[in-house]
Every structure is written in structure tokens, then in C-alpha cells.
Amino acid sequence: MNKYYIYTLETNGRIFYIGKTNDPKTRLRKHKSESKLKRTYKENLINKILSDNGNIELSILDIVENGREDFYEVYWISQFKQWGFELCNSTDGGEGGNNFGGRFHSDETKDKLKNARLKKIALDGPTILKGELNGRSKLDEIKVLDIRRLKEFGYSYNRLAMKYEVSKTTIIDIIKRRKWNHI
């Protein structure tokens, strides 16, 4: 059985978030690193706790079969809210998760993918799309050149990954020219 964990995040015995993951240790590390982006209430809260030298603990609430994690995440969020817990979950659960499970492309992203593919096919016929012609690319040539320039000025891989909202591996591959080697 592939396991999924329903977990709580808490500080000083106060539960403030419920989520799901198949790798609790990595997920806690991601919560902490994502908090630096300060995009959501949860990220701001975690960032504040950590900047005040507080501690965030991840506790396993339930272990469920892969494929049932959305149901149980919704169940536990609802249950904790009924018990009076003030959770910072932005939704009732059931979406998101590791490896983009449960996530869907927006209409804008679908259009971007479609238009990039049609443009490339019109130019060269069906081939592998490189760089910004790949509709899934988060970067463009200017950003890639900036990444390489900033690395020369001493920016760390992690800092660049957070700045451009891509993985550290992607940044390393760009610097070592394993990706975006056409520019």
C-alpha cells in the first residue's frame, strides 16, 4: 500500500494547519522554505514563527491509502474546524499535494501551451520545444541570462531558485548549460 500522511502543523501545542503528504520530512522542510516567499497567510505565519525563533512541528494525524488522501484531508480540516481550531488552511482541502497531484492547468496556461505548440509546428514542424517556446516554461531568455549573471555575482542556487520560483536543480542545470543551452 502506498501511504499518504494527513498531518498537522503546530507551534507551542497550537495546531494551525492540516495537510497531506507522502514524505513528511520533506514537506516540513518545504513549508519552512516556502514561508520566505510570504505569498499566503500560512507562509506569513510560518515565517513569523521562525523569525521569532519559534519551532514548527509536523505531527502525523492519519495514514491513508494513496488515492484517498483528498477525502481524508477534507474530513480532518472540517473536523478540526468543528472542534473550534483556527486553521490557516486557505481551502477546505482536497487539492494540491506532492508532485502536482490534484492540480490542474488554468485556462491561461492551457492557451499558452497550445499557442506555443502551434507556433513551433508552423515554424519547424513537430519537434521538441526549447526555452520559452515550451508552454510549460516559467522562464524566458532574459530571466535565464539574469540567472547566469547573478550567479557570477555570487548569488546562491537556493536564492536564485526562490527568486525565479523554479527548483534548485533547474538553476544548476541552467548554470551548467544542461538546460537553456541554446542561449
Please give the pLDDT value at position 129.
61
Rounded CA gap, 66 and 154, in Å? 42
Q: How sure is the predictor about 85, in pLDDT bands with cuts at 50, 70 and 90?
A: very high
Question: Sheet harboring 14-21: ordered strands across?
Answer: 14-21, 3-11, 57-65
Rounded CA gap, 79 and 93, in Å? 12
Q: What is the pLDDT of residues 101-129, one digit of tens each?
A: 445 567 787 788 778 777 777 776 656 66
Beta-carbon neighbour count of residue 91 at 10 Å? 10
**What domains lie within the chain, and their CATH numbers?**
3-100 (3.40.1440.10), 107-175 (no CATH)
| Backbone angle region of 141, left / alpha / beta, with phi > 0 → left and psi within -120 to 50 → alpha | alpha
Relative to beta strand 3-11, strand 57-65 is antiparallel
